Amino acid sequence: MPIFPKISLRPEVENYLKESFMNKEVVSASSKQEAERKFEALLIHLAHPPSFTTVRVNTHLASVDYVRGLLLDELQKQFSGFSVPVLQHPALPDVLLIPVTGPRRNIEKQQREVIVGAQCGNAVLRGAHVYVPGIVSASKFMKAGDVISVYSDIKGKCKKGAKEFDGTKVFLGNGISELSRKDIFNGIPALKGIGIRMTEPIYLSPSFDNVLPSYLFLQNLPSAVVAHVLNPQPGEKILDLCAAPGGSPPFLPESFDRILLDAPCSGMGQRPNMACTWTLKEVTSYQPLQRRLLNVAVKLLKPGGVLVYSTCTITLAENEEQVAWALTTFPCLQLQPQEPQIGGEGMVGAGLSQGQLKQLQRFDPSVVPLQDMDTDCLGDTKGEDMIWLANKDCIGFFIAKFLKCKSTEEKVSRK
Ligand SMILES: C[S@@+](CC[C@H](N)C(=O)[O-])C[C@H]1O[C@@H](n2cnc3c(N)ncnc32)[C@H](O)[C@@H]1O
């Protein structure tokens, strides 16, 4: 049962998405009602966090088993009392999965409140504590040590430093304040640490603040899949064309064996996300940018090289339509099967053939019902069922893999 309403979008954006998720091909493959039901389910899933926390292990430093042991000890400390499993992903050997329990519906709301920004609220739903810069408002007499209810200002309407807020706010759980209201809003810009230590979050996920930082890092499951699909080999020249934190890419005279284009995108697959205030112009601004980046990537790729294109969004325009465009624009590109194949096939509506759709990976969280996970059900669930769920109930994501053929004739003969 959903605890949050569906993601709130501008009507123009919701209509735009709905049109593509209910395009002619989708409707004729199922029915109008079924397509509409799936679209609404997707919007609800986007507002809720994924069912698992995923971490990638730095296997250059330690074995996955060793890090798994350290992580189990850490979780014992964090969740004093009940044990949470840490699963190793069978198809992604460097990935560990920790189930998220929740939503817990019986947490008692407190009189004293803190309102946090939407980004901070999303992080809290995935296990973070509240850091001072995320706090937008706090009750009048809040002192250090008070038990506080934390709410997310999902529409960004609360004024910084307000003493109360009556706008749309979503309850995230309770915590203990580490600072007083005065400390938080006294104007000292250096305050960056924890403001509220979450003790009763409605979704219980481990906190990864400074937890085994050299051994592991948080990464959504599909992003870990991308690294395996790229499959870099020793001695190869690899380019991560859009490596964070961004900026202008340097002039690159070389050609590369493999290129990852993990493209800037509308990010509409990110979860949880309860409200997106973007205009249609903003949402649709990424398609041309991604095409320019694809153009650069194809130029920098050596013949015989591999290009992996990925986004953390769900729009047809940034995913399947880009693949269709790339295949037409660059006759040297050929779509490749992916290993491992964990997501579903591509969505219809961009003119790709059934065979081509099967070579894509679209991670669509609406393919599973929204989960309610409590500690009892964790004990009763088989490991393989949990892995199955972790593969489905993740963020919305898309991956395509191309080979740059040595000549167009080669592409034709390989078909
Ligand atoms: C999805 S993230 C990729 C993250 C990267 N794969 C990593 O793990 O570090 C997209 C990145 O593209 C960068 N970006 C935005 N516009 C860009 C542009 N015009 N050219 C290159 N990179 C850009 C952003 O700063 C962002 O870091």
**For the segment 346-381, what is each residue's pLDDT rounded down to a tens digit?**
999 999 999 999 999 999 999 999 988 887 777 788
Residue with tokens 């940018």: 289
- Distance between CA atoms of residues 395 and 54, nearest Å: 11
Tens digits of per-residue pLDDT, 149-193?
999 999 999 999 999 999 999 999 999 999 999 999 986 666 789
**What whole-number percentage of the chain has pLDDT above 90?**
87
For residue 66, report the distance from its CA to the centre of ligand 1, in Å.
32
Q: How many Å from the N-terminal Cα to the C-terminal Cα in the chain? A: 46
Domain 113-201: top CATH class: mainly beta
372 belongs to an annotated ligand binding site: no
Is the CB of residue 242 below 6 angstroms from any atom belonging to ligand 1?
Answer: yes
**What is the residue-wise DSSP string for 353-374?**
-HHHHHTSEEE-GGGSPPP-B-
- Distance between CA atoms of residues 343 and 312, nearest Å: 13
Tens digits of per-residue pLDDT, 20-71?
999 999 999 999 999 999 999 999 999 999 999 999 999 999 999 999 999 9
Q: What is the mean pLDDT of residues 229-248?
A: 90
Confidence class for position 250, pLDDT limits 50, 70, 90? low
For residue 244, report the distance from its CA to the centre of ligand 1, in Å.
5
Tell how strand 135-138 and strand 216-218 pair up: unpaired
* 267 CA: nearest ligand 1 atom: 1
Taken in order 339, 268, 85, 70, the sign of the CA dihedral is positive
- Distance between CA atoms of residues 100 and 46, nearest Å: 16
Q: Specify the pLDDT at position 326.
A: 98
CB 161 within 8 A of CB 137: yes
Q: How many CB atoms lie within 10 A of CB 236?
A: 12
Is the CB of residue 262 below 6 angstroms from any atom belonging to ligand 1?
Answer: yes
Tens digits of per-residue pLDDT, 269-314?
999 999 999 999 999 999 999 999 999 999 999 999 999 999 999 9
For residue 398, report the distance from its CA to the centre of ligand 1, in Å.
15
Architecture of domain 220-414: 3-Layer(aba) Sandwich (3.40)
Query: Among 120, 158, 276, 312, which one carries the catalytic annotation?
Result: 312
Q: Provide the H-helix boundaries in 209-319.
A: 221-230, 280-283, 286-300
Tell the residue nearest (CA) to atom 22 of ligand 1: 242
312 is an active site residue:
yes
Burial of 52 (0-12, 13-18, 19+ CB in 10 A): buried
ω into 340 cis (within 30 of 0)? yes
* CATH 2.30.130.10-classified regions of the chain: 113-201
Tell the residue nearest (CA) to atom 9 of ligand 1: 244
Give CATH superfamily name and number for 52-103+209-217.
Sun protein; domain 3 (3.30.70.1170)
Q: Specify the pLDDT at position 415.
A: 45
* CATH 3.40.50.150-classified regions of the chain: 220-414
